[in-house]
Every structure is written in C-alpha cells, then in structure tokens.
C-alpha cells in the first residue's frame, strides 16, 4: 500500500490498472488551500520548472501530513500535470469561459503536456518528467462550447481529457498517453521499483 497525494480520479484509475494498492492522501482546496503546496506560477518560471516544483511540493507536503496526522509511514506518490503553449503555462480553467478560451488557443495547433511524478518516503525523493506533444484539429466554436457544456473541461489541465470526448479533437500524439491523462505509467512504475515496490 502507498499513499497517493492527489484528488484525481484519472490517477486513481491508472494506479489500479497496474495493480498498485493505494490510499488517497487529500489536501485542502479552495479558500482554505494548504499554503505549503503553492500552485501559483512564480515570476520567470517556465512550464518544465513549474510542473516539477509543484509535484515535489505535493510530495513533501504529503509526507508532512502523514506525520501530522499520525498515519502509518508508507511510500508516497505525487504528480502534477500542466500544458505548455508558446512558452505559456496552461493549467486548469477557472470557469467555463476560461475553458472556452483555452480550447480556442489549442485549436489547430500542437502543445506539450508535461507530467512530473515524485515518489518519496521522507528520507529520499525521486522524480521523473514525462513530456508529450499533442496536436488538435481545428475546432469550431460549436465544438468548443458543446464540449465545455458537457462539464468534462472542468478541473483538467488544458481544459480537456484525452480519455473522454476530447479524443475526437486530437489528430496526433507523440509521447505517453497515460502521461497526457495525468500519470505516466512507465515513469511511475520505474520510480516505485526504485523504492522496492513490487510490480
């Protein structure tokens, strides 16, 4: 059994796919969000630095919470996903109109999906980064608004989920399908094995 420092249903599904037993370790969100897991972009920070910093903050924050909550010590896995387009960091949409704006920007273009994964035990942390390229077909306004109205764009980096209806937008991917979903299984398995987790 490991701890998963994530609220993401996709990450839970992917860990189940490779038979990793886990217990969710949840953080506070919204107005009471935990200050030590700061997901704000820092001045001058690029997408590669950002996603790795946030994933590491989630892992270190998760290990602290194991101790604070007097939970049994176990390996902990944390991850973060973001998009990069023209040097800009694109995270989760703030609302439906923001999701529309993001999808308009991605329409007919290629972008990078970056997912950083961290495994740690309190004494040691190890990290891997998955970088994939995704090309969207040209989307018309009706495509975008129908997709956003479905509710699927909410709470997803880049305002889309490759495993859902947005699959019809994607002409080509280069890289890790599971990395685009939010947890690259090749890198995740390698990190867990590095810490002696049997797969």
**Length of the chain in residues, anyone?**
199
State the Cα–Cα distance between residues 173 and 171, nearest whole angstrom. 7
For residue 96, give the H/E element and its range. helix 96-106
DSSP code, position 41:
P
Pull the structure tokens for residue 197. 């987790």
State the Cα–Cα distance between residues 58 and 47, nearest whole angstrom. 16
Give catalytic status of residue 143 as yes or no: no
Look at the block and give the residue holding tokens 């990793």: 20
Cα Rg of the chain (Å, integer): 17
**Which residue out of 34, 36, 40, 80 is catalytically annotated?**
80
Assign 178 to helix, strand or coil: helix
What are residue 180's DSSP bridge partners?
A: none
Catalytic (active-site) positions: 80
């Amino acid at each position: 059994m490991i701890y998963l420092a994530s609220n993401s249903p996709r990450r839970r599904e992917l860990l189940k796919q490779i038979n990793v037993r886990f217990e969710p370790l949840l953080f506070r969100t919204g107005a009471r969000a935990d200050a030590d897991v700061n997901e704000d972009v820092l001045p001058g920070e690029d997408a590669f630095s950002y996603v790795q910093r946030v994933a590491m903050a989630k892992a270190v924050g998760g290990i602290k919470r194991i101790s604070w909550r007097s939970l049994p010590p176990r390996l902990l896995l944390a991850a973060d996903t973001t998009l990069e387009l023209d040097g800009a960091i694109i995270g989760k949409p703030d609302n439906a109109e923001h999701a529309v704006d993001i999808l308009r920007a991605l329409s007919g273009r290629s972008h990078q999906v970056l997912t950083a994964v961290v495994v740690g035990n309190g004494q040691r942390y190890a990290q891997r980064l998955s970088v994939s390229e995704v090309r969207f077909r040209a989307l018309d306004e009706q495509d975008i608004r129908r997709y956003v109205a479905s509710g699927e764009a909410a709470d997803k980096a880049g305002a889309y989920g490759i495993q859902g209806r947005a699959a019809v937008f994607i002409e080509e991917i280069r890289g890790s399908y599971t990395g685009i979903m939010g947890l690259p299984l090749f890198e995740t398995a390698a990190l867990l094995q590095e810490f002696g987790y049997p797969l």
